[in-house]
Amino acid sequence: MQNETLTITDNRTGKTYTLPLYKGAVRAIDLRQIKTGPEDFGLLSYDPAFLNTAACQSAITYLDGERGILRYRGYPIEQLAEKCSFLEVAYLLLNGELPDPAELDAWSGEVTRHTMIHENLKKFMEGFHYNAHPMAILMTTVAALSTLYPEARNIHDPEVRRLQIIRLLGKMPTLAAYSYRHSLGLPYVYPDNDFGYTRNFLNMLWKRTEPKYSANPVLARALEVLFILHADHEQNCSTNAMRAVGSSFADPYATTAAAIAALSGPLHGGANEEVLRMLDEIGSKDRVPAYIAQIKAGHGKLMGFGHRVYKNYDPRARIIKRVADEVFEVTGRNPKLDIALELERIALEDDFFVKRKLYPNVDFYSGIIYQAVGFTPDMFTVLFAIPRTVGWLAQWQEMLQDPEQKIARPRQLYTGQPVRERVPETAATLA
């Protein structure tokens, strides 16, 4: 049996401490006993941007960034992407097991029943400026859902929680499609419960005057796979936002809106939109070397490259590359793919990128597919938010059931002024 402890000597005092390890980690709170004297608050750990801090324990997603492994509830992402529907994966993430056929049927029925949104919300959306970013509309309308379901505040009741989870999963594609159609000035299309999750979404996006919209099955399946790949990714920026905001016991709509806000940034979900802009800026394959030289000289970043935890090829990017081939068979080849492939080829051979372990991430190819399917770049992050909602909700639920969790409240190292007097008094305060 290994000795699962850590011995630390404080060179300021010469004292030695033996701390227990928990699942291979030291508990930061155990450092607090390390003091230079009775007045000392105790040792803190300092970790800006959580580079080496586990903020929770989780049984949902396993990620090994060094080896390029991603699993949901133990199942390799490659198998789930090949063999499952998005709603099966959603069930798995939320409940820990894949559903049997009867469970899947019941689950799909429940989610489908909640795809409609209240007419008030539709009116609310109509008030947005004509060129409002769809991600901003989505974030705001998800927050507005809490005005319609006040009982959602009762987050400690498992049945209430379950109902809000189903509502959010059901309504997310509807809100996303309405955001999109709003930005194009098109009338909203009501959900059609004859369709599955992604086909219904495509229906609400693209239906015009035809009595029944029929999505291309290859494109619908491609979107389904992309949804599966984006469903969860353990403790990323938006999931951390979900857990942090949820830890104050805010309702799930406010909490999900906070996660959407985090996802909207260009360093997180907004990256695939940036990839497309970058490929447009490069313009042609022959200009790739000059663009890479510019990045190496410190002007900007290669969007869609690099990851906080993957220091190897992102396994999702590998699957997406395959999906891209299937999509392009239907839509015709997106010319940006050639620029992207050339960027990848040169970057993977270049010492600058190799040394820093910078590989294409999930966003590098997803935008090219989305564009080929017919989406404008400002919809890309919305397409990320729909499936990630299930991951956020699974993590939120897990956080609420974890007896060790409390309101998230980090410490700081104060670097400001010491106490000082406000002298002399000004004329304004004397008056």
Ligand X SMILES: CC(C)(COP(=O)(O)OP(=O)(O)OC[C@H]1O[C@@H](n2cnc3c(N)ncnc32)[C@H](O)[C@@H]1OP(=O)(O)O)[C@@H](O)C(=O)NCCC(=O)NCCS
Query: What positions carry a catalytic annotation?
Result: 268, 307, 363
**Residue 239 Cβ, how far from ligand X at the closest point, in Å?**
13
Among 305, 359, 370, 396, indicate the residue that binds ligand X (CB under 6 A): 305
Q: Per CB under 6 A, does 361 bind ligand X?
A: yes
Q: Per CB under 6 A, does 359 bind ligand X?
A: no
**Residue 295 Cβ, how far from ligand X at the closest point, in Å?**
5
| Count of CA atoms in the C-beta half-sphere (13 A) of 187 | 5
**Residue 362 Cβ, how far from ligand X at the closest point, in Å?**
6
Applying CB under 6 A, the span of 133-141, 239-247, 255-263, 354-362 interacting with ligand X comes to 354-362
Q: Give 48 or 127: the residue with its C-beta nearer to ligand X.
A: 48
From CA 316, how far away is CA 61, in angstroms rounded?
Answer: 14
Contact 269, 376 (CB under 8 A): no
- Exposure string of 97-125, with b = 16+ CB inside 10 Å and e = fewer, is ebbeeeebeebbebbbebbebeeebbebb
Applying CB under 6 A, the span of 57-65, 196-204, 303-311, 377-385 interacting with ligand X comes to 303-311
Q: Per CB under 6 A, does 184 bind ligand X?
A: no
Q: Which of residues 229-288 bind ligand X (CB under 6 A)?
A: 267, 271
Q: Per CB under 6 A, does 12 bind ligand X?
A: no
Among 145, 362, 372, 390, indicate the residue that binds ligand X (CB under 6 A): 362
Among 15, 27, 277, 356, indicate the residue that binds ligand X (CB under 6 A): 356
Give the dihedral of Cα atoms 17, 23, 29, 34; nearest 10 deg. Answer: 10
C-alpha angle with apex 302: 292 to 51, nearest 5 degrees? 130
Applying CB under 6 A, the span of 68-76, 79-87, 143-151, 356-364 interacting with ligand X comes to 356-364
The sign of the torsion formed by the CA atoms of 251, 253, 258, 262 equals positive
**Residue 326 Cβ, how far from ligand X at the closest point, in Å?**
22
**Residue 315 Cβ, how far from ligand X at the closest point, in Å?**
13
- One-letter amino acid of 172: M
DSSP 3-state percent helix, strand, coil across the chain (nearest 5): 55, 5, 40
Q: Write out the H or E segment, with its range, that includes residue 83.
A: helix 77-83
Q: Per CB under 6 A, does 293 bind ligand X?
A: no
Please name which of 68, 172, 74 lies closest in space to residue 392, comparing C-alpha atoms: 172
Q: Give 253 or 305: the residue with its C-beta nearer to ligand X.
A: 305
Q: Give 182 or 388: the residue with its C-beta nearer to ligand X.
A: 388
Q: Which of residues 306-335 bind ligand X (CB under 6 A)?
A: 306-308
- Exposure string of 60-75, with b = 16+ CB inside 10 Å and e = fewer, is bbbbeeeebebbbbeb
Applying CB under 6 A, the span of 68-76, 161-169, 360-368, 373-381 interacting with ligand X comes to 360-368
Dihedral-angle region of residue 298 (phi above 0 means left; psi in -120 to 50 means alpha; beta otherwise) = left
**Residue 337 Cβ, how far from ligand X at the closest point, in Å?**
17
Q: Per CB under 6 A, does 363 bind ligand X?
A: yes
From CA 214, how far away is CA 125, in angstroms rounded?
Answer: 26
Q: Per CB under 6 A, does 358 bind ligand X?
A: yes
Q: How many CB atoms lie within 10 A of CB 373?
A: 22
Which two tokens mark 77?
A: 């992402």
Q: Per CB under 6 A, does 295 bind ligand X?
A: yes
Q: Give 164 or 238: the residue with its C-beta nearer to ligand X.
A: 238
Residue count, binding to ligand X (CB under 6 A):
16
Q: Tell me which residue has its CB nearest to ligand X.
A: 306
Residues in the site for ligand X, rule: CB under 6 A?
267, 271, 295, 301-308, 356, 358, 361-363
